[in-house]
Structure 1
Amino acid sequence: MKAHYPIILATMAAIMGCQSNTKNGKVEKEQTQDAGTFGYDLAFLKKYKEAVVLSAPDNANAQAIVIPDYQGRVMTSTANGDGGNSYGWINYALIESGRYQPHMNGFGGEERFWLSPEGGQFSVYFKKGKPFDFENWQTPALIDTVSYPVVESDAASVQFQVTATIENYSGKTFTIEINRKVEMLTRQSIAKLLDLPALDGVKAVAYRSTNSATNKAETWKPETGMLGIWLLGMFRPSDQTTIIAPFSKGQSEKPLITDDYFGKIPTDRLAIKDSTLFLKADGKHRSKLGIAPKSARNVAGSYDAEKGILTIIQFDLDPQGQYMKSTWELHKDPYKGDALNAYNDGKLADGTQMGPFYELESNSSVKALEEGEAITHRQSTFHFEGDKAALGEIARKVLGVEIEGLGVIFE
């Protein structure tokens, strides 16, 4: 397919948020948008990488930035044009340095493509026989530093394709073709996907990614491992941001929840009310939770009570499917992993910290693929701002929660 690029690196810097000023006889360029805005982040990113800017077909102010060099990840989006809030967390220092880091390059971005599992005998992050510790943990280049070629694009969508081999901890080599498409959604599509009557009183931006991994070699077998698709979004935290993870009680006798990935999450940071988990997302305490497919629902979200931003992810879910387990250990049940994960960043033992940010993550189920067969995982990301009552109606309808009081739920 012939590639053509829509709004890739605007030709005039002024349009992208820069202007020239004369000071002391010198011409200096400065960003016209404030930090935290979409225009600021676009001007920053285009200094270092080719940027694909997508707009919703029915709303030019609903935009997203996608970076081919970062595996086609969505770096950030906005519902209100250049001056609007920028929703994705971006690691400015790392990008500006131009240097790759050991273990992982946390460039940021509100949706990136990864592969699972992370740990265990079928891990693709640890080499065969190595201990499951940070020193030996290495994110594969395929999902860390490899650029994904654009194969097709228009003003509202972009598609990537790459073929590569990757080896797991047990020595199994996979040859896969990855296809990833990011497309902006109209307001009508947003309402339909979330089963909302309308979007009155709110500004909205949303995009859907469709991701597939096609087996290009011998059949995958459970005893030598399989691969899953793992989508992770990094967002800007605040003292009044709360992650909302509803769960189902219908598939198992008790909720299948993991809340001790990095030690038990303190009760002043994790609350369970009715059929919903609430996790504090202030970027000040490292904590992670997971929900198994039989207990997960196909939606999760967050609410920033300080800025009035409601974020929702909606993803493919197979309650009866097999999901790769990713904890850093050998597994008795390697196919009983999480469908949904949520993470709040915090300082490591040595006092360092990548963020602060928080994450919403979804995983695909896996299966033993014959040559030519594929697994596919779709996720849609939505952001809403506007009238608080209207935001409350969306949260109530989609997530089953009242946003009143969420900003102080842990106080």
Structure 2
Amino acid sequence: MDLLRFITCGSVDDGKSTLIGRLLYDSKSILADQLEAIEKASKSRDNGEVDLALLTDGLRSEREQGITIDVAYRYFQTTARKFIIVDAPGHIQYTRNMVTGASNCQLAIVLIDARHGVVEQTRRHSLIASMLGIRHVVVAVNKMDLVNFSEDVFSNICIQYAELAQKLTIPDITYIPMSALNGDNVVDQSAAMPWYTGTTLLSHLETIEIDQSDSQLLGRLPVQLVIRPQTAELPDYRGYAGKINSGSFYVGEAVTVLPSGESSTISRIETNEQDVQVAHVNQSVILHLADNIDISRGDLIVPSANQPVLSQDVDAMLCWMDTKTLSLGSKYVLQVGTSRTRCSVRAIPYQLNIETYEQIEGVDTLKLNDLARVVLRTAQPVAFDPYGQNRANGGAILIDETSNVTVGALMLQGEA
């Protein structure tokens, strides 16, 4: 049974948490004690209805304000598929939380309030989803009950979003009218919208074909730990431990260690205290090489025949996530996988206008939640793949040198 990771995003009060609660409730994926807890917490509501948003809004401040602040994760499964749901906050000041949550997702549900149509956060979250390489989007036009289930309202919003999507890289978009509060077209087909003949949300999530090509990508192993027990029983043991973030490795394969460029062949692969001939993506392994090479944490082991970009000049798309302003010449720590190196911002070719998606040139500073293209100069060569080819080895973060706080999320594009 395969796994689908998806995120719900959109503007504040579009009903993201309620939609997830309805999805869990109607698919009978809520434990009895969970249901009892939210029923107690909902007693103060005037209409006496269960507040399904409480299933994801777990922080006290979220319950008090009725909004989502942190990213919430929920797990459930049906007979068709397993799911990880990421509930992202809608407020603009929590955009960085949305970026974090979406980075590993394969599908995004963009909620739109039927009364308001496409708004700024719709554009912002759609742009971020596109930048993060999410190829499947569901446009969930929510609160249709508040516009009398009007087909014209739904059609107009679809037209608005289609115009927006022409400027993005999202190959698959599905439009579904729904009412998360009442359950229309979430799990069960709605009798209130006979004009809609498409699929329900859950049915779409169960049947959509997701590209599971990570295992077909080029092998990449960021070294996390060098294991050398140096005991009498294992005098010559030398292993390189890490989690394969894409592709596969096999015994006898010629590999190169970056950034040094030293080459060898794999003599042994261990996983779960057993020797195997082949190891695949997401497996934690210990590789042994035929030659003694100087390898340390942060190095990248790759097939010699298919190596990534290795450069000190990096071109990237950036989502700035700090309240402090980024300026030309600012210095940070760049982390790609387990590798860290100091870097400076050499250029900002352009910033993206959230409303129009136009490129604004001549920018020399960036503020919280700005999206821009940047060029970095690193102290040491960095090994990476273009993000569009390999998300696992093309994503990176910027870290403040003094506070050690993550201040930026990067989608590496190539050598500058």
TM-score above 0.5: no
The higher-RCO structure (CA 8 Å, 6+ apart) is 1
Point out the structure with max Rg over C-alpha: 2
| TM-score (norm. length: structure 2) | 0.29
